[in-house]
Structures are given as structure tokens and as C-alpha cells.
Amino acid sequence: MKDVSSLMQSRIKGNYVALFNSIAQVAADYQVGVYVVGGFVRDLLLNTKNLDIDLVIEGDAISFTKKLAEKFDGQVESYEKFGTSTLRLEGRISIDVATARTEYYSYPAALPEVKPSKIKSDLFRRDFTINSMAIKLAGQGEFFLIDLFNGEVDLKNGLIRVLHDRSFVDDPCRIFRAIRFEQRFDFCIEDKTKKFINKAVESSLIAQLSGDRLINEIKILLNESSQVKCVDRMRELSILQTIAPEIFVDDFHWIVMEKLESALVWADMLLMPKKPEVWFVYFYTLFMVTKDEVFKGMMERLHFPRNIYSRMCSERECLTSAKQDLNKKKELKPSEVYDIFSKQSSETVVLLLAICSSERVKKYAELYFEKYSMSAKIELNGDDLIGMGIKPGPIFNDILKALCDARVNGQVKSREEEIILVRSRFVK
């Protein structure tokens, strides 16, 4: 076993030193084995920053976390059903604490049944060799790397390798995880592991995942910085075709997908009130199909959660109507541009740009965010209108719309000019 104490000392800095010392102290008080595992160990060996610590306790994780939280002023969230806790500390440090466990899968893609165990069995239930290393934090064997599956060698050789033949049968989510780590670190999925993926895909194991789990994995994948490469890898491994044969049937998907990155960079420079959710723009593009009935059929078949289903449908409607409105006339008045863009989410704006790919859409969106959305502010309010002798009713909306249009079109620039407009058009 390799001693990694000097590596820990050289790479663990600042708040983490006190944190790891306290973990070791609580472990000694409780007389339980405590290990840091998974991504944190992998990233420590890769010398990559990782603020998420996963601890495994050979004992009760929840009471351990509460004890740890007393030492730090942290927030604990416990999940009794799973015997796990999360401790959140200042500076975005988050610690997940779990009881060491063995997992059993009663059928492919089922949620596992779990039983408390020792660290070795806990490491065996993990996804890849590079994620199955641990470091003991206190007691005998302190700061030695526990690497039962040659994870360190695979890390050096840049390989993503499962621990056993049935890994993807037990949990097909690992197929997406394999792509995620492969693309993130620019690694390769090891040959046998790739064969297991092919077999799992051919046996339609992905179709056995619930809509929730499928969405969750794709969402995490599309939050990586190499989305297009991840999607391309899914296509290469026939995963996309298995999820939905309707998608990626022509080049249009790739053309849009490749434009999303620059559309997002452009959107980042705009004064948008809410920044777009990156995963969603890629997700929408992934499931973009031309025909309405094909789109609806696919959405229903995939059993996506209700909120995602409605979000996809409303995104489609918004995009279609925005495209039609933008194409109606060659030159739009500022108030018409305002009307179109004020109804759109930031995700729709990014998608519009990538799909239409026109300088005109870009110019209008820039004008909207940089100019019109700010000049649309009206000074008169309902009380002012009542003070002018106008009775409250639907007419108020017409007046406010007329004032907003006039502001955006630059016909009105002050409260006084607003009053003149209302008097001339709405007061008999």
C-alpha cells in the first residue's frame, strides 16, 4: 500500500487541513474506520481541485456527521432511509458521509438493496477503478492509499474501466458516467469495458431506466464543459439511437449543437436578468425533431418527469412563435422587437440564435437586452390613471401597453410626455 501522507500535506491546504484533522479526531473518539473515497481521491492524485468530499464510515454515518458539525459551524442534512448525511461548510465545501455498504441488485437497472459492510465491499460496489480508491483518515493504516483495483495505474494510463462484467447490467447509469469521465479527463474507455457497454446497449438496458434517472444522468453529462463531445460519444456508442431513434437523423442537429457554444458565450455578455441553464439548451437540441406528432410521441414514450415534459413542450411553442414573429417583416419597430423578446426565456434566446443563425436575430436580441428592456420602464401607475379620471378596467392594460410601446419607440421620454399621451389618446 502506498503512503500518501506527503501528497495529502502538499495538496491539502487552508480550511481542509483543520477539517481533515477534525475528521480524524472524531474518528478516534468514535473508534470507527473513516475513509475519504471516490472523486476526491481521484482528483487528489490527478492534482485537480475538488471541493466535494465523500467520506465512508465503518459505523453510523449520521451520528458521525452530527458530531463533526458540532466542531464546525456547518449545516447537516440527513437521509435516514439511506443512512447518509451531507455537511455543508463555509467556502462551498460539502462533505457527503455514508455508512460503508454492500449493494445487491435484484434485477437489472433496479435500485440496489443495501447492507452495512466494511470499506472493501463498499469499494467493490463502485463504478470504475479510478473512482474506487480510498484513503484511511485515522488509526492504523492512516494516509495509505487503498487501491484494490489498480485505479492509480488506470489513472496514469487514462483508462475508464469497470470493476466487474455485470457493472452496466446492475446500473446502466454507469454508461453515461463512463462517457462523462472519459470526456472530462480526455481518457479512453478501456476495450473490455467498451464491449460491456455495447452489450448493455444492444440488450436495451437503457430503456429499463426510469425517466427520472435517465434525465438526471443526461443532465449531469450536459453540465460538463465538453457537451458536444459527450453527445458525439453517445451517438458513436449507439446510445442516442437507443434512447430515441427519431433524433439526430440529419446534420441539422450537429449544426445547431456546434453553434450553441458560441451562442452561450454571446449570451453571457448580454445583460440578461437570468443566465441560461446550459444543460437545458443542449438537452432541447438533443431532442429537437421537426414534426409535432413525432416530438409529442417521443416525449410521452420517454416518460420524462412532468416538469421536464412541460418545459420541453413550452420551449418548442415559444421557439416556433418567436421564429414566426421574427420572420413576419423585414424591419421590426423597437416595440415589436420588445414584444417578441420580453416573452422569451434566456434559453429560448440562445436556441433562437443557434437555430436561426442570423445576424438579424442577434442584432434584435442585443437591442432588446442592451436598450429596449431598459427604456420600457413607465413612470405612470394605476393611481395616476385614476387621478386622471380613468376608470380601472381592461383599458388600463391598453394604456400601459401604449405607454410601453411609446417609451421603447422613443416617442415618450418623461412622465410629462406620458401624461400628454394618455390625455390625447385615452381621455375624452
Q: Can you list the positions of beta strands (E) in 59-160?
A: 75-79, 84-89, 93-99, 101-104, 113-116, 134-136, 144-146, 159-160
* Residue 246: how many other CB atoms lie within 10 Å: 17
* Closer residue to ligand ATP in complex, CB, 54/152: 54
Q: How far is the CB of 127 from ligand ATP (least distance, A)?
A: 4
Q: How many angstroms separate the Cα of 126 from the Cα of each of 122, 129, 179, 254?
A: 7, 8, 16, 34
* Closer residue to ligand ATP in complex, CB, 131/285: 131
Applying CB under 6 A, among 52, 142, 379, 384 the residue interacting with ligand ATP is 52
* Residue 420: how many other CB atoms lie within 10 Å: 12
Contact 254, 355 (CB under 8 A): no
Applying CB under 6 A, among 173, 222, 231, 240 the residue interacting with ligand ATP is 173
Give the residue nearest to ligand ATP (CB).
39
* Closer residue to ligand ATP in complex, CB, 54/147: 54
* Closer residue to ligand ATP in complex, CB, 38/83: 38
* Residue 164: how many other CB atoms lie within 10 Å: 10
Q: How many angstroms separate the Cα of 417 from the Cα of each of 237, 403, 406?
A: 64, 10, 10
From 166-174, 256-264, 340-348, 367-375, give the range in contact with ligand ATP by CB under 6 A.
166-174
Q: Give, as ranges, the residues between 26 and 45 that touch ligand ATP (CB under 6 A).
A: 38-39
Per-residue contact track with ligand ATP, 207 to 246, x per CB under 6 A?
Answer: ----------------------------------------
Q: How far is the CB of 394 from ligand ATP (least distance, A)?
A: 53
Applying CB under 6 A, among 122, 152, 171, 339 the residue interacting with ligand ATP is 171
Applying CB under 6 A, among 58, 122, 127, 154 the residue interacting with ligand ATP is 127
384 near ligand ATP, judged by CB under 6 A = no
Q: Give, as ranges, the residues between 190 and 209 that touch ligand ATP (CB under 6 A).
A: none
Q: How far is the CB of 131 from ligand ATP (least distance, A)?
A: 3
Distance between first and last Cα of the chain = 91
131 near ligand ATP, judged by CB under 6 A = yes
Helix 278-286 vs helix 211-222: angle between axes, to the nearest 10 degrees? 120
* Closer residue to ligand ATP in complex, CB, 168/304: 168
174 near ligand ATP, judged by CB under 6 A = yes
* Closer residue to ligand ATP in complex, CB, 19/355: 19
58 near ligand ATP, judged by CB under 6 A = no
- At CA 399, angle to CA 393 and CA 402, rounded to 5? 150
Distance CA 152, CA 162 (A): 14
154 near ligand ATP, judged by CB under 6 A = no
Distance CA 239, CA 247 (A): 11
Distance CA 155, CA 146 (A): 14
From 70-78, 169-177, 309-317, 404-412, give the range in contact with ligand ATP by CB under 6 A.
169-177
DSSP 138: S
Phi/psi of residue 110, nearest 5 degrees: -75, 165
From 126-134, 202-210, 233-241, 265-273, give the range in contact with ligand ATP by CB under 6 A.
126-134
Closest C-alpha among 328, 262, 319 to residue 288: 319
Closest C-alpha among 360, 348, 340, 350 to residue 408: 340
Say how many residues touch ligand ATP, by CB under 6 A: 12
Contact residues toward ligand ATP (CB under 6 A) are 38-39, 52, 54, 126-127, 131-132, 171, 173-174, 177
